[in-house]
Structure 1
Amino acid sequence: MEIKFAIALAIMLTLLAPVLAQNSYIPLELGGDNYYTMYGSPDISASISGTDEFKRGDTVTLYLDLTNYGRIIGFKQDQMPQNSKEYALASAELEEENKKPTALGITTTLVSRAPQIEVKSGDQVVESLKSGDKTQFPLKFTIKIGEHAPAGEYPLHLNMTYDYQDNVRVYASKLVTEGGTSTFSNYRVSYIYQKANQTVPVTIRVKKQADFVIQNTTAELMVGGKKQEIHATYRNIGEDPVRDAVARLSIFKPFSSTDDQAFIGNLEPGNETTVLFRMDVDSDATTKDYGISSEIKYTDLNGDTVISESMKIPVVVKAASSSLLLPAVIVLIIIVAAGGYMYRKKQKKA
């Protein structure tokens, strides 16, 4: 028996459009017969597509696939068909009821409760996802890994809201059979929808690596001074040791130096070392606070050369102190002259 499901589908789409657009639901009062009640709903899982491991300090794209594992888990017959028209209607309703696990208008929001992980992108939307299907293209979320985020696992939460078909009612004024083909007259399908919320966990990992901070600095320089000392203490707060580490500065005016690199050597996690730089300051430098960028170039556990994130060394430039040499010389001359005068005076008396 062939039923014009194309008509039913057109009616369904016409009725479904305002539901998705306005978040309203088609009420049961639209009428029709209810032969079955189906039990089940969508059940959406999320998985990471590609890598789940990232470096601290990076801004990256996280790709997520959605899969709908929802299914029909049971049904109840609410009304027993009594004639050929009702049997045909019951069959048509059953066809529509089996679409219950399909998720419609899925809105996804990625949330991080860890301060070291920041989600930079907004909501992602999937039009629909049938039972057993996976999204054709992964969802894309931009996340920022904290500059000093410790290595390890970080749980994220993917919050989802969607609609799904809760019940179906069918109606036809009569069943017309011609030439062995049966069709409904005035066929109508009424859909009732439910809104659902679902949260699924997503876990990312931050790689183990060395990581550095500046613990202490001594950097008070004078305008016009030459080879003035800057002391900086670097600490490895990461998880991996480093070899052949060298600290180096990024120099800009009014600073200059021929000694802007300092050898650190090997530095284990939790250890620190203090290095010395020498700096010249221009004679026309402005007296104020500066920040000189520094970085550490080192060899990691894989033998690769790595350059750390930039770290600022606070530097204070002060006015040059007045020299005490000239006043001292003048005082000495005065003392010598006075002494000579007194000596000559005594000689004359004698």
Structure 2
Amino acid sequence: MIKIVNFVHVTAFLFIALALVGSAPAGASDNYIPSVSLENYWTVSGSPQLDASLAGTREFDRGGTVTLHVDLANYGRIMGFKADKKADSRMDQMLADRELDYEWERTTALGITGTLRSGNDMIEVKSGDQVIEALRAGERSRDSMNFAIKISSRTPAGEYPLFLDLSYDYQYNVEVDADSLDAEGRLRGFRTAYWYQRANETVTIPVKVKKEAYFEIAEVEADLRAGEKSGIIEVTFRNTGEEVAEDAIARLSVFKPFSSTDDQAYIGTLLPGEVRAVRFKIDVDSDATEKPYSINSEIKYTDIRGGTVISESMKIPVNVGGAKRSYALPVVAALIILAAVGAYIHRRRRG
């Protein structure tokens, strides 16, 4: 139970309300009711009504993390007034007028907390709750709620709903009272008491994953050895997206212990679902450690709108084995020995 009895203007009251909302104990009632009951001249119907929309584009590429900028708008309105107490005196009339001024704040949403949820495993929400202090009816939020989402590289193109859960408080009722009128006809000892109501809304925010060409490595054939020159790597790429990739070129980014003067391979047009194998020549340093490595690759292509696009990096797994044994020196040594033996035998026979 929260008590608010104050000699304040409604603007100052908003800040007090926010502080009380933030300090409400866990498990408290959704209604915040003051312990002091004053005079109630009006019963007002109406409440805040929040809506949310994305600022900027709602269409995104798969395989990355993006930030959604969500703007809130309050379309709440006062639906009606009902007189609960007849104003028979000058003081009653002044109290009724003062209460009516405060009742207009019923449509202001206070302490708005937004929580974004995903309805699909392919999209993950990476941000926690976002807060907007207050939003009056007929206004839009000055600052956006910002949520980071991660879109899986396996997400098919299409529209996906995200759900923004909003919780807030709003003024449910106001009561007023005063001790008397002073000699100048002003209220003396004016008091107010406020009721709050907790509200929850869920707004659906659709986001769209673009149609595009997208690639994966379907197969790799490679047998590289330390010290090898012009070793062959054969890589099969698959277009797992929904669009055609034209004039596609596969490119390698090599690093020690590898080097290459043949680090690009022409693929051509790759339709959705189609695969294409290309070859690269790789040199391996003689001091390369025998172990598995990864070589980065990417595909540069032209999309259906004529733009040049570079794909995400894809890792090509390769294994480097030990250097091949050279038999040149043993053969030479054997020939020298045979020649020496032959010369010795020849001299013996002549002698």
User: TM-score scaled to structure 2, two decimals?
Assistant: 0.85
Aligned counterpart, 2:178 = 172
Per mean C-alpha deviation after superposition, the further-off stretch among 82-91 and 259-268 is: 82-91
CA contact (8 A) 1:67 1:135 kept: yes
Q: Does 1:237 align with 2:243?
A: no
CA deviations on 1:16-47 (whole Å, 9 max, x unpaired) are: 35413413675332121112222221110001
Q: Does 1:31 align with 2:32?
A: no
Give the deviation of 1:300 after TM superposition: 1.3
Whole-Å Cα distance in 1 between the matches of residues 104 and 88 of structure 2? 22
Sequence identity percentage: 50
CA contact (8 A) 1:59 1:143 kept: yes
Aligned mate of 2:192, from 189, 192, 195: 189
Structure 2 counterparts to residues 209-228 of structure 1, below 5 A: 209-228=212-231
Instruction: Please give the secondary structure, in 2, of the residue aligned with 1:258.
Output: strand
Distance 1:327 1:31, change over 3 A: same
CA contact (8 A) 1:8 1:187 kept: no
Q: Does 1:98 align with 2:90?
A: no
Aligned counterpart, 1:297 = 300
Per mean C-alpha deviation after superposition, the further-off stretch among 242-251 and 8-17 is: 8-17
Aligned counterpart, 2:159 = 153
Aligned mate of 2:61, from 55, 64, 67: 55
Aligned counterpart, 1:138 = 144
CA contact (8 A) 1:247 1:295 kept: yes
**Aligned amino acid, residue 86 of structure 1:** D
Whole-Å Cα distance in 1 between the matches of residues 202 and 10 of structure 2? 31
Whole-Å Cα distance in 1 between the matches of residues 178 and 73 of structure 2? 36
Per mean C-alpha deviation after superposition, the further-off stretch among 74-83 and 123-132 is: 74-83
Give the deviation of 1:329 after TM superposition: 9.3
Aligned counterpart, 1:348 = none
Distance 1:112 1:304, change over 3 A: same
Whole-Å Cα distance in 2 between the matches of residues 15 and 91 of structure 1? 22
**Aligned amino acid, residue 119 of structure 2:** R
CA contact (8 A) 2:236 2:278 kept: yes
Per mean C-alpha deviation after superposition, the further-off stretch among 59-68 and 142-151 is: 142-151
Instruction: Please give the secondary structure, in 1, of the residue aligned with 2:105.
Output: coil
**Aligned amino acid, residue 142 of structure 1:** A
Aligned counterpart, 1:263 = 266
Flag structure 1 segments of 5+ consecutive residues without an equivalent: 336-350
Whole-Å Cα distance in 1 between the matches of residues 328 and 109 of structure 2? 87
User: TM-score scaled to structure 1, two decimals?
Assistant: 0.85
CA contact (8 A) 2:18 2:111 kept: no
Whole-Å Cα distance in 2 between the matches of residues 230 and 56 of structure 1? 28
Query: How many aligned residue pairs are there?
Result: 332
**Aligned amino acid, residue 276 of structure 2:** T
Give the deviation of 1:192 after TM superposition: 0.9
CA contact (8 A) 2:300 2:311 kept: yes
Give the deviation of 1:73 after TM superposition: 2.2
Aligned mate of 2:254, from 248, 251, 258: 251
Aligned counterpart, 2:20 = 19
CA deviations on 1:176-233 (whole Å, 9 max, x unpaired) are: 353xxx3111100101111112111111112211100001111221111222211111
Q: Does 1:308 align with 2:314?
A: no
Whole-Å Cα distance in 2 between the matches of residues 301 and 14 of structure 1? 54
CA contact (8 A) 1:11 1:189 kept: no
